[in-house]
């Protein structure tokens, strides 16, 4: 499960930051996850609960902001979301055509993010 390995890193980082600050508990963790990562927010939450069970982060709130994909076509200048039919996004490397001109010179500007954005801790 891809979500489990991603969440291992998030939990490890949150605990490391909390311990480094002398915190007694991790209260909340926030992250941004792009829709093109194919990470399932519900699976991430389940992994978070399992991985924090016997740690200072047990019971912490996990907030996941899903970042929608945003494309920019270098050919025609289109900026916006991907086409409504996203069969190609199921591939390991999405191949997306511009919804405006049909060209393949498309840059993904958003939607590939997977980042820890904040950690809230309780200090003694």
pLDDT digits (tens, 9 = 90+) for 102-112: 888 989 899 99
DSSP 28: E
Q: Give the CATH fold of the 2-68+110-122 domain.
A: hypothetical protein PF0899 fold (3.30.2320)
Name the one residue in this structure whose structure tokens are 């049909």: 102
Q: Label residue 114 by pLDDT band (50, 70, 90).
A: very high
- Sequence spans of domains, the chain: 2-68+110-122, 70-109
pLDDT digits (tens, 9 = 90+) for 52-104: 999 999 999 999 999 998 999 999 999 998 876 554 555 555 567 888 998 88
Specify which residues 29 forms β-bridges with. 62, 119
| Segment holding 6, helix H or strand E | helix 2-20
C-alpha of 42 from chain center: 12
C-alpha span between 101 and 63 (Å, rounded): 37
Q: How far is CA 97 from CA 14, 47, 59, 74, 92, in A?
A: 38, 34, 43, 11, 16
C-alpha span between 9 and 1 (Å, rounded): 14
* Percent of all residues in the chain with a pLDDT value above 70, rounded to a whole number: 90
């Amino acid at each position: 499960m891809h979500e489990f390995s991603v969440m291992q890193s998030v939990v490890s980082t949150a605990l490391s930051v909390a311990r480094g600050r002398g915190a007694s508990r991790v209260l909340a963790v926030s992250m941004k996850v792009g829709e093109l990562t194919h990470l399932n927010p519900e699976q991430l939450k389940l992994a978070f609960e399992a991985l924090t069970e016997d740690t200072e982060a047990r019971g912490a709130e996990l907030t996941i902001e899903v970042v929608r994909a945003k494309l920019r076509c270098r050919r025609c200048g289109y900026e916006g979301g991907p086409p409504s039919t996203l069969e190609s996004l199921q591939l390991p490397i999405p191949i997306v055509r511009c919804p405006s001109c049909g060209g393949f010179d498309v840059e993904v500007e958003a939607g590939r993010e997977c980042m820890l954005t904040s950690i809230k801790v309780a200090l003694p």
